[in-house]
Structure 1
Amino acid sequence: MSSDSPPLSRLVAGDVLRTLLGVILLGAVLFAATGVWPPMVAVESQSMEPHLERGDLVVVSDESRFAGAAADEHGIVTVTASERYSRIGGQGDVIVYAPPSRHGSPIIHRAVFYVDAGENWYDEANESYVRGADSCDELLNCPAPHAGYITRGDNNGYYDQASGIAQPVKPEWVEAKAQFHVPYLGNLRLELQKRL
């Protein structure tokens, strides 16, 4: 090194500073585009296979952004309302939601249809996903205890509300909706979560 060159510590500090500024700038751009932080979630289970697999990284947005033509007042397109609209390999929006009683990571499942408080939603449901119920009286969360979305993981045999995973998902429980995914990239995030 010549005597005119800056010291190594100064070069390293400059590299670290540029890297941090780049990360901050990227974060700001992602937040501006998606309206949520963090703008990505890692899939932790097989409940959305084959469209989302454990370890996929999902880019999410505020539910009111990038809404389809059939979106409801909350910006969500349900499976039953979707008219040639699809996200993540299927009809309707995939939402990220967290009921207040949930401990741990939020749930990422597809919004199938919307129910009003007190609604008998058994007749609107696909009988394959109601866990053997033959009427509203035999179905969990029926009539609906409050208004919200009936949801289901693409790989799950039953609606979340029929299997006791959650009550109908209130719009305020929705944290984001999925836009697209990057296979396997979420494994890094899942590995970091385990170590922290």
Structure 2
Amino acid sequence: MEPDVSAEDDDRSAAVGSDGDVDDEDVPVSVYVRDIATSVGAVVLVGLLLFAVSGVWPPLVAIESGSMTPNIDTGDMVLIMEEDRFPGPDARHGVVTAETGAESNYVMFREPGDVIVFEPNGNEQRTPVIHRAMFYVEKGENWYDRADPDDVGTAGSCADLRNCPAPHDGFVTKGDFNDAYDQVTGTSTVVRDEWVVGTAELRIPGLGWVRLQTGTRLAG
């Protein structure tokens, strides 16, 4: 005697729509949970791999200002690397300045020198800044003569500049789109090397717009 499978077939038919797709209400909740868990796990895995490579958390940050335009734009996503991991030639504290990069032909984001992420004035509560390291100064140095005359505003000497002589060792910085050094505009004093979070290594155009709404961002 053969088993009656008609009822089972009817049940299967009922679970399948006229177009051949399985009805959503018949898909077990566990399937959705598994899919979500798989997606979250993949994101976490990618994040951990990027952290392992970069040494910085979070390794990806979104750009919220246009101070680095056109080389890095508002809404871009940028990969940050710990500055001492893979330093360029003649780096100082893991950073190649624009001054040094111009001599060695070291270019990042279309111009000489590293683009760094730093805490302005060493303040961890402020939004980090992403600007180019222009040159390195030592405590007490009169750096006016090393500066580009176009980037010091109306200053005619060191006495007319903020942060000159240099209050301590560190980097003079500037946004590629800005008209003056950060140390002239008051964005930050000379950037101590311990205030540097890392160097910008890779730009992903436009991907940062979503992150700007919810995640880590960088100011200019």
The two structures have a TM-score, normalised by structure 2, of: 0.82
Equivalent-residue separation in structure 2 for 1:8 and 1:102 (angstroms)? 47
Equivalence map 1:37-186=2 (5 Å): 37-72=57-92, 74-82=93-101, 83-98=104-119, 99-101=121-123, 103-186=125-208
Question: Would the alpha carbon gap of residues 101 and 35 (structure 1) be closer, same or farther in structure 2, given more than 3 Å must change?
Answer: closer
In 2, the alpha carbon distance for the partners of 1:48 and 1:7 equals 49
Q: 1:56 corresponds to which letter in structure 2?
A: D
Task: Count how many residue pairs are aligned between Structure 1 and Structure 2.
Answer: 191
Q: 2:143, 2:211 → 1: CA distance?
A: 38
Q: Give the C-alpha shift of residue 112 in structure 1.
A: 0.3
CA distance in 2, matches of 1:123, 1:144: 13
Q: Secondary structure at the match of 2:180?
A: coil
Query: In terms of Rg, which structure is larger?
Result: 2
Please report how far the alpha carbon of residue 70 of structure 1 lies from its aligned counterpart in structure 2 after TM superposition.
1.9
Counterparts in 2 of 1:34 and 1:24: CA distance versus 1, 3 Å: same
Cα RMSD for the two superposed structures: 1.9
Please state which structure has a larger fraction of its residues in helix.
2
Q: 1:192 offset after TM fit, Å?
A: 2.7
Q: Is the 8 A contact 1:130 1:162 kept in 2?
A: yes
C-alpha contact (below 8 Å) 1:87/1:180 kept by paired residues: no
Identity of aligned residues (%): 43
Query: Does the residue aligned with 1:187 lie in a helix, a strand or coil?
Result: helix
Letter paired with 2:83: E
Separation (CA, whole Å) in 2 of partners of 1:15 and 1:59? 28
Between the aligned partners of 1:101 and 1:123, the Cα distance in structure 2 is 29
Whole-angstrom CA distance in 2 between matches of 1:103 and 1:155: 25
Unaligned runs of 5+ in 1: none
Q: Which residue of 2 aligns with 1:190?
A: 212
In the alignment, structure 2 segments of 5+ residues that lack a partner are: 1-10, 16-25
Q: What secondary structure sits across from 2:144 in the alignment?
A: coil
Alpha-carbon distance between aligned partners in 2 of 1:136 and 1:29, rounded to the nearest angstrom: 46
TM-score, normalised via structure 1 length: 0.91
C-alpha distance after superposition, 1:42-79 (max 9, x if no partner): 1111111110111011111101122111211x110000
How far off its partner does 1:103 sit?
Answer: 4.7
